[in-house]
Amino acid sequence: MQETTWLREPIVVVLGHVDHGKTSLLDKMRGTIVAQREAGGITQHIGASLFPYDAVVEACRRLLGEVRAQIRLPGLLFIDTPGHAAFANLRKRGGSVADMAILVVDVMQGVQEQTVESIQLLRSRRTPFVVALNKIDMIPGWRPVPDAPLKEALARQDRRVVEELETRTYMLVGELSKLGFTADLYTRITDFRRTLAIVPVSAKTGEGIPDLLLVILGLAQTFMAKQLTVSEDRFEGVVLEIVEEEGLGATANVVVSSGVLSEGDTIAAIGRRGPVVTKVRALLMPKPLDEMRDPRDRFRRVRSVRASSGVKVVAEGLEEVFPGSPLVLVREESQLSEIERMLEEELAEFRITTDKVGLVVKADTIGSLEAIVNFLRERNIPIRLADIGKVSKRDVVEAEVVRRKDPYLGNILAFNVDVDKEIELEANSKGVRIFKGTVLFRLVDEYVGWVEERRREEEEAEFGKLVKPGKVKFLEGFVFRRSDPAIFGVEVLAGEIAPGVPLVNSSGRHVGEIHQIQESGRPISRATVGMKVAISIRGVTVGRQVKEGEVLYVAVPERDARLLLSKFSSRLDEGSRRTLDELVSIMRSQNPLWAR
C-alpha cells in the first residue's frame, strides 16, 4: 500500500518585546484575511489560526504579480498565543515544532530586553525567523495607505519620512549585528540563508503585511519543502496547554505537525506520575471567527485532523499531562512499553535530581523546564534539583542543604509557578531566597545580579577591614613633643594613615603605632595623600627610633598585603599600589617569602 504524503502548512509563532505589537499584528493579519471572505476566509483552531491558501493569495495578490511568485504551500498556521510561554511549549527533541517565527520589533524603540530574550530562545531552538519592523505608521509625517504592500506605501511618503525609516532600519541592522546576525531590508537581500530579513509593517494600518506573508511563504517553500512534506504513517504532535472546559473536564490543546489524529486513537503523553496513556473521546474545533459570536456553541466536533492543525483533544486523564509534552500515537499495544520508556527518558533529560551543590529550579511546563535548564547549563550554573510544579517544602529543604555549603547556590528559581505564602515564609526563616518570574532571562538575570551584588557587598566589607598602604614623610622642624608620646608633623605622600596602624621605616624596623591624628588642632579619623597633619606615637623618642626627614610606611600585616596583592590590587589607586610594592620589597629583603 502506497504511503500518503502531503505538503503541510508551515507553523509560525510570533515573539517580541512587550507592547511591540505581537497580538495586534496577528489580529490585523486575521482581519486582512477575514476581509477576503470570497477567497476562502479563515479557520480558527485551538490556540492557532489557519490561513488557507486562497485567502493568503488574495491578501498578497498585488505583490504576487510583481514578483511572479508561485505559491505551492496550502497556507499558514499561526500559533495564536504570542509570547515566550507558547513558544517554549512548542518543543520537540532537539528543536521546535514551530517551523518559523516572526520577531516583532517596534520601529521607534528598536531592540529591547525581551527582543534579546526572544532571539536567545529562537537560537536555542534553531528556529528560523524574520523581523517585522512594526509601527511604521508612528514615524512622524507618515501617510497611511491601508493594507498596501510596502513599495506602494513608500511611494506615497515624503522623502524625509522614507529617510527616517531607512535610518531606523539601519539602526536595527546595527543592533542585530551585535547579537550575531547579518540583517537587511528584505528587498535588498540576495541570499536569505545568510541574511536575516527585515520587513517594515504596520499592525494598525496593514501596510507591509502582504510583504510579510509573502516572505514567510517564500522562505518556507524554498528552504523547508522537505520538513513540510509529511505522511499519514508518521504522527507528531505536542500539547500546547491543558485547559479545563465546562462539561468536558481537562482538555488538551494540541498542535499536530505530522500525520493524522482521529477519534478513538490511543495516545500517550508525559504526566506527573509517569506516562499517561488514554483514548481520544472527541476532537473539537472552534467554529470560524465569524461564527463564534454565540458562546453556547463555540465548538464543532470533527472525526479527524491532519497536519498542520490545532485541535482540542477530549480524553480521560489529561489533567495529569504536562504542557510541552510530545503527543505520541499508539498504533499497536506491543509499542506501548517502548513509547512509555521514550517519554520517561525525554522528561528525565530536564528533570534533575542530584546530590551536588546547585540551585533548585521549578517550572510550570516541560517546555519551560527545558528552556531554563538549558539556559542555566549554558552559563555553567549548577543545578541540584529541577522539576515541574509549585515550590514545595521539600524544595526549601533541598535549598537549605545547599545553602550550608554555598549561600549563593542555596536558593530557588521559580519560573512561571506560584509560591504559597507559607512556603515563602519558611524559606525566609531558613535564609533561602526564592526568585520568581515569568520571563526566563529576566529571572536568571535577577538571580545573577543578586549574586554579583552580594559578592560585591562581601568584597567591600572584606576590603574595608584590611589595613591599607600608606607612606608619610616626617616634616623637618615640626617636632611638637619628643617623647611620651612623640608628636610631630608629617605629610602623607601616598595612600592613607589612620589611628591604630603601625609604622615601619625604610629598613623595615618597627617604629610604633599611630595613637592620634590631628589637623588644625582637631582629631581626625584618617589622613589621605597630600594632607599635612600631626601624629602622636607612644613609646618612641624623636631622634632615636624616628628621625626628622625620614620616610615611614604603614606596616600592612602580611595577610592583608597578600590579599591586597592578589585580590584587591585593582581597587588601590596608583600611589597606594606603588607604596605597597615598596613595602613588599622592604619586607622581602628580610624574609623572601613575605606575603607570597
Per-residue pLDDT tens for 148-197?
999 999 999 999 999 999 999 999 999 999 999 999 999 999 999 999 99
> Does a structural domain hold residue 454?
yes
pLDDT of residue 55: 76
Does residue 293 have a pLDDT over 50? no
Return the half-sphere exposure (C-beta side, CA atoms, 13 A cut-off) of residue 136.
Answer: 33
Is the same domain home to 44 and 182?
yes
Domain enclosing residue 325, as ranges: 232-347
> Does a structural domain hold residue 194?
yes
Q: Which of 434, 464, 494 is the last residue of a domain?
A: 464
Is the same domain home to 433 and 318?
no
Q: Name the pTM for this structure.
A: 0.76
User: CA separation (Å) from 556 to 139, 465, 466, 502, 565?
Assistant: 63, 12, 8, 8, 12
Kindly state the average pLDDT of the residues 482-497.
94
Q: Report, as residue numbers or ranges, the catalytic residues.
A: 84
Q: Give me the chain's average pLDDT, please.
A: 89
pLDDT band of residue 396 (cuts 50, 70, 90) is: very high
Q: Which amino acid is at 68?
A: R
Does residue 491 have a pLDDT over 60? yes
Return the half-sphere exposure (C-beta side, CA atoms, 13 A cut-off) of residue 545.
Answer: 17
- The contacts of residue 108 (CB under 8 Å, 6+ apart) are 135, 138, 139, 168
> Does a structural domain hold residue 420?
yes
Which residue is it, cell 503527543? 327
Q: Which of 197, 230, 263 is the last residue of a domain?
A: 230
pLDDT band of residue 37 (cuts 50, 70, 90) is: very low
Grid cell locating 122: 529562537
- Taking the C-alpha atoms of residue 343 and residue 136, their distance in angstroms, rounded to an integer, is 46
Is the same domain home to 480 and 573?
yes
> Does a structural domain hold residue 539?
yes
Is the same domain home to 340 and 360?
no
Per-residue pLDDT tens for 251-267?
999 999 999 999 999 99
Give the sign of the dihedral formed by CA 343, CA 349, CA 351, CA 353. Answer: positive
Kindly state the average pLDDT of the residues 275-298.
74
Q: Which of 230, 261, 295 is the last residue of a domain?
A: 230
pLDDT band of residue 1 (cuts 50, 70, 90) is: very low
CATH of the domain at 38: 3.40.50.300
Per-residue pLDDT tens for 512-550?
999 999 998 899 999 999 999 999 999 899 998 899 999
> Does a structural domain hold residue 596?
no
Mean pLDDT check: name the lowest of 8-22, 65-79, 389-403, 428-442.
65-79
Mean pLDDT check: name the lowest of 92-101, 484-493, 523-532.
92-101
Is the same domain home to 175 and 59?
yes
Is the same domain home to 201 and 242?
no
pLDDT of residue 67: 52
User: In the chain, how many domains are there?
Assistant: 4
Give the torsion through C-alpha atoms of 66, 70, 75, 77, to 10 deg. -70
pLDDT of residue 42: 56
Mean pLDDT check: name the lowest of 11-20, 21-30, 291-300, 422-431.
291-300
The residue length of the chain stands at 596
pLDDT band of residue 69 (cuts 50, 70, 90) is: low
Residue 529 sits at φ, ψ, to 5 deg, of: -50, 135
